[in-house]
């Protein structure tokens, strides 16, 4: 599973996973013809109960907010076809589906587990449990009818067994897992799966029915096999953070049914990007932190279904191609930490569905085009660390009511503040206006009560820090940066209202007086307190 841009927490990630992969099976009860057992097959009931008994139920084994122990209701003697998470075939009464995702299962699993007696299974979903670093048992090869296998986020580790290649009916294979440091994926860390022998190539050669393949966080450490481009049914391919290297086969971009492609976090993986075909189905294209570079091809405008383009920290250069203006389905355009130059194109306002626009840390110049303020669906706007110039009227930005993240620091423009009478402005979580030539605290801040990160550093704000700053967002504020202004007066004891504060920087101002004694009470959360270069703060 690929985390979305906004998704920083585990719970959020898993919410998305289950949004995409809701409970897979409709529970049906067998009541029919040939010779169905009265309830379910004794041998299968017994296999399920033994499977249940081989685990501890532990709340911390699952992260999905709606997780619950599905197996808890399984009772000796019951009709296993009616059990939570179990699906039987209407005619034969055999167990054909098992969905025990997010079921608090904790413990090891091996080939002796009675799970592998359930030969009729076609779908098996054990995602979001904790199998405690177990290897995927080689007995998985017994389940040769599987068309869906989902072991994602379940703490399996080690080499994936060769027997997986026997699952020739597989259409969905999800073995993705967490990877806390995608930059250095597999060093000093045993908690991941490996796909080396068998390799990704053998997988692609054998599992030719695959439609959905997610190996995010699996240590593959190889080139991307050409044979992946032969999987003509493929709709979803994630090789995120798999330590892939070499040149990415351009034919994969041309797979006719491909909707989702992520190869992010493979810094040894190289381009080039292809000429994109006209009939492409690609909706999500994620190439962040890879070695793809050069210009974005004009033909990217052929990707009419593209809703999400994420190329964070590659070495792309040149102008943002004008063919992008035809991609009116775009909701996420995230191009930070590249070398894009030229101006922010004034057709940007055409992309009216944009929720995320991140052009930070590029070489963009010139003014912010007026049309940008037409993007009424924006939630996240980040333009910081460019060379944008001119003036920006804050009131115009505040018209975009859904903004949660606004970052425009470190450009060459001035942000103009006017008095906002209208209290109906966005509720920001992240707001950075560092080096924006502000001469006062913007009024609208007085209405912000959900701020987590506020940076007004290196402006020309003088006078005292207004009292309201310590009030409304006191419970949520994690970082407050006011350094490099001309602030005067004392630090009020109200500072101690900031119960979540981690970073507080008021250095390089003209503050004076004694520090409020209660500051020592903040020390539990506070990890950066910078007071230097003031008048006489003591
Ligand atoms: C989990 O693995 C550890 C280390 O291998 C082991 O000590 C522990 O008993 C296992 N826990 C369970 C519930 O299997
Ligand atoms: C892809 O499939 C074609 C036709 O089935 C075959 O000739 C070719 O060898 C395959 N390519 C790879 C890389 O497996
Ligand atoms: C980008 O290019 C610079 C200089 O050519 C190089 O040092 C850097 O590693 C490249 N970054 C990536 C992500 O390839
Ligand atoms: C946008 O699409 C139209 C037709 O769909 C095409 O004529 C035009 O050249 C495209 N514009 C760009 C900049 O690619
Ligand atoms: C900063 O604002 C002042 C007015 O407060 C203005 O005179 C000056 O030109 C601005 N500087 C820049 C770089 O825009
Ligand atoms: C700092 O404050 C002192 C007195 O409080 C004042 O004399 C001085 O001019 C101020 N300096 C600046 C740079 O504002
Ligand atoms: C620190 O907090 C405690 C408990 O809330 C309070 O009693 C005490 O007065 C505070 N200390 C200072 C110096 O404000």
| Torsion sign over Cα 72, 77, 80, 83 | negative
Q: How close is the Cα of 438 to the center of ligand 2, in Å?
A: 62
What pLDDT shows up at residue 321? 96
Q: Is residue 280 classed as helix, strand or coil in its secondary structure?
A: coil
Average pLDDT over residues 290-306: 95
**Residue 356, preceding bond cis, omega within 30 degrees?**
no
**Percent share of the chain, pLDDT over 70:** 89
- CB of 230 sitting under 6 A from ligand 2: yes
Cβ pair 152, 174 in contact under 8 A: yes
- If you search the block for the tokens 């007066």, which residue do you land on? 489
What pLDDT shows up at residue 520? 83
Whether residue 287 has pLDDT greater than 80: yes
Whether residue 16 has pLDDT greater than 80: no
Give the residue, by CA position, lying nearest to ligand 5 atom 14. Answer: 414
| β-sheet bridge partners, residue 378 | none
Kindly report the backbone phi and psi dihedral angles of residue 312, in degrees, each rounded to the nearest multiple of 5, phi listed first.
-80, 130
Give the residue, by CA position, lying nearest to ligand 4 atom 7. Answer: 326
Whether residue 465 has pLDDT greater than 70: yes
**Residue 58, preceding bond cis, omega within 30 degrees?**
no
Whether residue 300 has pLDDT greater than 60: yes
- Indicate the class that CATH gives domain 40-156: alpha beta
What pLDDT shows up at residue 29? 33
Atom index in ligand 1 nearest the CA of residue 108 equals 14
Average pLDDT over residues 21-26: 33
Ligand 3 is surrounded, with C-beta below 6 A, by 291, 313-315
Q: What is the pLDDT of residues 146-182, one digit of tens each?
A: 999 999 999 999 999 999 999 999 999 999 997 655 5
What pLDDT shows up at residue 182? 58
Which residues, 6+ apart, have CB-to-CB distance to 232 below 8 Å? 255, 256, 257
Q: What is the pLDDT of residues 412-460, one digit of tens each?
A: 999 998 766 666 889 999 999 999 999 999 989 988 999 999 999 999 9
Q: How close is the Cα of 452 to the center of ligand 7, in Å?
A: 24
- Indicate the class that CATH gives domain 417-538: alpha beta
Q: Is residue 229 classed as helix, strand or coil in its secondary structure?
A: helix
Q: How close is the Cα of 249 to the center of ligand 4, in Å?
A: 27
Give the residue, by CA position, lying nearest to ligand 2 atom 11. Answer: 227
2: how many CB neighbours lie within 10 A of its CB?
23
Whether residue 183 has pLDDT greater than 60: no
Average pLDDT over residues 279-297: 95
Whether residue 27 has pLDDT greater than 60: no
Average pLDDT over residues 7-31: 36
Q: How close is the Cα of 297 to the center of ligand 4, in Å?
A: 14
Q: How close is the Cα of 256 to the center of ligand 5, in Å?
A: 53
What pLDDT shows up at residue 180? 52
User: Model confidence at 185, in pLDDT bands (50, 70, 90)?
Assistant: low
For residue 314, the ligand closest to its alpha carbon is 3
438: how many CB neighbours lie within 10 A of its CB?
20
More confident residue, 26 or 314: 314
Give the residue, by CA position, lying nearest to ligand 1 atom 4. Answer: 132
User: Model confidence at 254, in pLDDT bands (50, 70, 90)?
Assistant: very high
Average pLDDT over residues 351-380: 97
**In this structure, what token pair is assigned to residue 105?**
């299962």
Whether residue 194 has pLDDT greater than 80: yes
| β-sheet bridge partners, residue 29 | none
- How, if at all, do strands 123-125 and 105-106 pair? unpaired
Q: How far apart are CA 502 and CA 516, in angstroms?
A: 17
Which residues, 6+ apart, have CB-to-CB distance to 8 below 8 Å? none
**Percent share of the chain, pLDDT over 90:** 77
Q: Which of 458, 484, 485, 455 is nearest to 469 (CA)?
A: 455
Quote the pTM value.
Answer: 0.87
What pLDDT shows up at residue 523? 75
Q: Which of 158, 152, 95, 87 is nearest to 126 (CA)?
A: 152
- If you search the block for the tokens 């995120």, which residue do you land on? 240
**In this structure, what token pair is assigned to residue 315?**
């070495």
What pLDDT shows up at residue 224? 98
User: How is the chain split into domains, by residue range?
Assistant: 2-33, 40-156, 417-538
Average pLDDT over residues 408-412: 97
Query: Distance from CA of residue 194 to its chain's centroid?
Result: 22
Q: How close is the Cα of 521 to the center of ligand 7, in Å?
A: 6
Cβ pair 389, 411 in contact under 8 A: yes
What pLDDT shows up at residue 15? 41
What pLDDT shows up at residue 10? 38
What pLDDT shows up at residue 537? 53
What pLDDT shows up at residue 515? 86
Q: How far apart are CA 263 and CA 249, in angstroms?
A: 12
Measured CA angle at 409 (ends 408, 410), to 5 deg: 125
Give the residue, by CA position, lying nearest to ligand 1 atom 6. Answer: 132
Q: How far apart are CA 23 and CA 176, in angstroms?
A: 18
What pLDDT shows up at residue 536? 65
Per-residue HEC secondary structure of 65-116 comes to: CCCCCHHHHCCCCCCHHHCCCEEECCCCCCEEEEECCCCCEECCCCCCCHHH
User: Model confidence at 2, in pLDDT bands (50, 70, 90)?
Assistant: very low
**In this structure, what token pair is assigned to residue 64?**
């999905």
Give the residue, by CA position, lying nearest to ligand 1 atom 7. Answer: 132
Cβ pair 490, 509 in contact under 8 A: no
For residue 155, the ligand closest to its alpha carbon is 1
Q: How far apart are CA 344 and CA 333, in angstroms?
A: 13
Q: How close is the Cα of 414 to the center of ligand 5, in Å?
A: 6
Q: What strands, in cross-sheet order, belong to the sheet with 486-489?
A: 462-463, 486-489, 510-511
Burial (CB count <10 Å: 0-12, 13-18, 19+), residue 12: middle
For residue 269, the ligand closest to its alpha carbon is 3
Q: How close is the Cα of 230 to the center of ligand 2, in Å?
A: 6
Burial (CB count <10 Å: 0-12, 13-18, 19+), residue 227: middle
| N-term to C-term CA, the chain | 51
More confident residue, 492 or 288: 288
Q: How far apart are CA 112 and CA 106, in angstroms?
A: 17
What pLDDT shows up at residue 276? 93
Q: Which of 108, 133, 190 to mutate to test the pocket of ligand 1 (most atoms within 8 A of CB)?
A: 108
Q: Is residue 245 classed as helix, strand or coil in its secondary structure?
A: strand
Give the residue, by CA position, lying nearest to ligand 7 atom 12. Answer: 518
Atom index in ligand 1 nearest the CA of residue 55 equals 13
Q: How far apart are CA 169 and CA 425, in angstroms?
A: 54
Average pLDDT over residues 221-247: 96
Q: How far apart are CA 21 and CA 10, in angstroms?
A: 16
b or e along 335-369 (b: 16 or more beta carbons within 10 Å of the residue's beta carbon)?
bbbbebeeebbeebbbbebbbbbbbbbbebeeebe
Looking at residue 17, what DSSP letter applies?
Answer: H
Whether residue 524 has pLDDT greater than 80: no
The pLDDT mean for the chain works out to 89
- Strand ranges for 222-305 from DSSP E: 236-238, 245-247, 260-262, 266-270, 284-286, 290-291, 293-294
Atom index in ligand 6 nearest the CA of residue 462 equals 14
Q: Which of 315, 316, 338 to mutate to test the pocket of ligand 3 (most atoms within 8 A of CB)?
A: 315
What pLDDT shows up at residue 17? 38
More confident residue, 13 or 403: 403
User: Model confidence at 6, in pLDDT bands (50, 70, 90)?
Assistant: very low
Q: How far apart are CA 458 and CA 35, in angstroms?
A: 80
Q: How far apart are CA 304 and CA 383, in angstroms?
A: 25
Q: What is the pLDDT of residues 33-64, one digit of tens each?
A: 445 555 789 999 999 999 999 999 999 999 99
Whether residue 80 has pLDDT greater than 80: yes
What pLDDT shows up at residue 187? 62
Q: What is the pLDDT of residues 95-126, one digit of tens each?
A: 999 999 999 999 999 999 999 999 999 999 99
């Amino acid at each position: 599973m690929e985390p979305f841009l906004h998704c920083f927490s585990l719970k959020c990630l898993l919410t998305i996973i289950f949004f995409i992969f809701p409970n897979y099976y409709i529970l049906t009860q067998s009541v029919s013809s040939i010779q169905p057992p009265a309830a379910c097959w004794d041998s299968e009931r017994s296999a399920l109960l033994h499977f249940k008994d081989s685990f501890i139920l532990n709340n911390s084994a699952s992260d999905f907010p709606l997780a619950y122990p599905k197996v808890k209701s399984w009772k000796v003697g019951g009709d296993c076809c009616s059990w939570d998470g179990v699906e039987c075939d209407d005619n034969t009464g055999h167990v054909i589906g098992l969905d025990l995702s997010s079921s608090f299962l904790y413990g090891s699993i091996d080939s002796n587990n009675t799970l592998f007696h359930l030969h009729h299974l076609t779908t098996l979903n054990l995602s979001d449990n904790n199998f405690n670093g177990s290897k995927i048992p080689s007995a998985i090869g017994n389940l040769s009818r599987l068309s869906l296998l989902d072991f994602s986020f379940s703490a399996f580790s080690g080499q994936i067994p060769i027997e997986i290649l026997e699952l020739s009916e597989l259409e969905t294979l999800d073995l993705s897992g967490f990877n806390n440091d995608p930059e250095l994926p597999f060093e000093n860390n045993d908690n991941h799966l490996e796909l080396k022998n068998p390799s990704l190539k053998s997988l692609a050669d054998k599992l030719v029915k695959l439609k959905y393949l997610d190996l995010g966080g699996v240590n593959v450490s190889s080139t991307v096999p050409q044979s992946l481009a032969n999987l003509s049914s493929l709709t979803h391919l994630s090789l995120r953070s798999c330590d892939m290297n070499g040149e990415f086969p351009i034919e994969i971009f041309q797979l006719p049914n491909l909707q989702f492609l992520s190869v992010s976090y493979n810094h040894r993986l190289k381009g080039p990007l292809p000429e994109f075909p006209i009939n492409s189905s690609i909706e999500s294209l994620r190439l962040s932190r890879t070695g793809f570079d050069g210009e974005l091809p004009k033909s990217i405008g052929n990707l009419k279904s593209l809703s999400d383009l994420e190329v964070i920290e590659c070495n792309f250069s040149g102008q943002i191609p004008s063919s992008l203006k035809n991609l009116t389905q775009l909701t996420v355009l995230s191009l930070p930490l590249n070398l894009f130059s030229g101006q922010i194109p004034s057709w940007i306002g055409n992309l009216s569905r944009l929720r995320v626009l991140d052009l930070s840390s590029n070489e963009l110049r010139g003014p912010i085009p007026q049309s940008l303020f037409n993007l009424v669906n924006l939630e996240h706007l980040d333009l910081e660390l460019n060379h944008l110039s001119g003036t920006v009227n804050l009131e115009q930005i505040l018209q975009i009511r859904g903004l949660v993240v606004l970052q425009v620091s470190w450009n060459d423009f001035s942000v103009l503040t006017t008095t906002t009478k209208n209290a109906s402005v966005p509720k920001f979580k992240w707001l950075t206006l560092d080096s924006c030539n502000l001469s006062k605290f913007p009024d609208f801040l007085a209405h912000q009560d959900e701020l987590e990160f506020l940076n007004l550093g290196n402006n020309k704000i003088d006078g005292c820090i207004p009292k309201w700053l310590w009030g409304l967002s006191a419970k949520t504020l994690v970082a407050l940066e006011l350094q490099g202004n001309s602030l005067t007066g004392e630090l009020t004891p109200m500072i101690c209202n900031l119960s979540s504060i981690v970073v507080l920087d008021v250095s390089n101002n003209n503050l004076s007086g004694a520090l409020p004694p209660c500051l020592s009470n903040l020390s539990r959360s506070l990890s950066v307190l910078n007071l230097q270069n003031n008048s006489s703060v003591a």
